[in-house]
Amino acid sequence: MLKSKDPMRFISHYPDSVIFDVERMIERDELGEYLINKYPKQHEIQNPKQLYQFTIAMKNQSMRQSSPLNKVSYNDRLDIIDNALGIHKQIARYHGGRLKAKREILVASLFKYGPEAFLRMIVAHELAHFKEHEHNRAFYNLCQHIEPDYHEIELDLRIYLIYLEQGHTLYKTKERW
């Protein structure tokens, strides 16, 4: 399970009207229904090889010219760190007098059992970081280029995190956080 804090922190930077709507859904116990209606089934990308292939397909569709990825995997420790849904790493090492770069993406294991749209959004976010390091307009434009519904899915993912933090589960999982 996620850390027990104020669940509304996930959407605190959204307009008051969005916060109000989410609070109403919480009061009416409608968050789960909203999410399951919008995302009725979970993806089947369960192992690192499948996640790598999924990520490479997204990268090749939107960012063909960028450097190759060396590793993509789920990470059990990321859902413990507040607000770390995924991490990108660029590691440069000297090997034989040449500079070699490795690029890796780690996705919180929390998303091993969720809808594919959430996984696409996280992967798009981490792929965008390889080109744009800061969360600025160019970064979010690139996220939207990779995943056209990026902003809508990001809000729904934040609603999903609120739902999970309240102790609910939406999809069948092998373990409970």
Question: Cα-flanking dihedrals φ and ψ of residue 71, to 5°?
Answer: -155, 140
Model confidence, pTM: 0.84
Task: Please check whether residue 126 lies inside any domain of the structure.
Answer: yes
Band of the pLDDT at 7, cuts 50, 70, 90? Answer: confident
Q: Using one digit for the tens of pLDDT, what is the confidence trace for 123-137?
A: 999 999 988 989 999
Residue 82 reports pLDDT greater than 60: no
Say if CB 161 and CB 169 are below 8 A apart.
Answer: no
Task: Please check whether residue 64 lies inside any domain of the structure.
Answer: yes
Number of domains the chain is built from: 1
Task: Please check whether residue 81 lies inside any domain of the structure.
Answer: yes
Question: Cα-flanking dihedrals φ and ψ of residue 95, to 5°?
Answer: -140, 115
Task: Please check whether residue 174 lies inside any domain of the structure.
Answer: no
Residue 33: give the domain boundaries: 7-165
Task: Please check whether residue 157 lies inside any domain of the structure.
Answer: yes
Q: Using one digit for the tens of pLDDT, what is the confidence trace for 63-76?
A: 877 777 888 999 88
**Amino acid of residue 71:** K
Q: Using one digit for the tens of pLDDT, what is the confidence trace for 91-102?
A: 666 667 777 778
Average pLDDT over residues 41-62: 93
